[in-house]
Amino acid sequence: MKKHIGRTVLQIIALVFIVFGIIGLFLPFLQGIIFLVIGLYLLSLISPRIREHIHAWGRRHSFVGRVLARLEGFNVRLRRWFHLD
C-alpha cells in the first residue's frame, strides 16, 4: 500500500514540475529547463522507459553522464523515501 501511495505522490510532484517547466519556457522570470529536468528525473524513478532515455542521453553527452553518476546516491534515497523498492 505504501508503495502505491509513494508512486502516486511522486507522479503528482513530477507532473507539477513538468507543468511549471512548460510554463517557464514562455515566462522570462521562471527557469523552465530546470523544472523540466527535475520533473523528468522524478519520473525516471518510476518509469524504466524514461530512465533508459535519460541514461542513453547521458551516454551521448558526457556532462549529463557525470551529473547522473552524482545523482545515483540521491536516487537510492528518494526511492527509499517514496517506498518504491
How far is it, in rounded angstroms, from Cα 18 to Cα 13?
A: 9
How far is it, in rounded angstroms, from Cα 20 to Cα 83?
A: 25
Grid coordinates given for 77: 534515497
Residue 85, pLDDT > 70, answer no
Work out the pLDDT band at 1, boundaries 50, 70, 90. Answer: low
* pTM summary value: 0.76
How far is it, in rounded angstroms, from Cα 19 to Cα 35?
A: 8
Q: What is the pLDDT of residues 20-50, one digit of tens each?
A: 999 998 988 888 888 888 888 888 888 889 8
